[in-house]
Amino acid sequence: MGSPRAISNHCDPKTLAAIDLAFDGAWDVLASRALLARFANDRELQSELSQRLVILASDGVTDPDELRRQVLSSFPLA
């Protein structure tokens, strides 16, 4: 998920764990959709997902379920 070292410099362990859980749950949904066709490859989508989760966490969203819900709502899943 992105650069663990860079993210860990800005987040406490509890927030990092929440981001990791949200990433895994959101990735399962995103990977099962045709959304991958909009990105060059899996890595690009994973990077975008990581960035969006870090932004949400830095805005104060630290519950893994809420992070997952909000990050998924930021992608066009239709």
With 50 as the cut, is the pLDDT of residue 4 above it? no
Once rounded to an integer, what is the mean pLDDT over residues 15-26?
Answer: 96
Q: How many angstroms separate the CA atoms of 23 and 52, rounded?
A: 10
Angle between helices 64-73 and 42-58 (to 10 degrees): 120
**Is residue 10 classed as helix, strand or coil in its secondary structure?**
coil
**Is residue 30 classed as helix, strand or coil in its secondary structure?**
helix
Instruction: Give the pLDDT confidence score for residue 9 in this predicted structure.
Output: 57
* CB-based contact 34:49 (threshold 8 Å): no
Q: What does residue 41 show for φ and ψ, rounded to 5 degrees? A: -165, 175
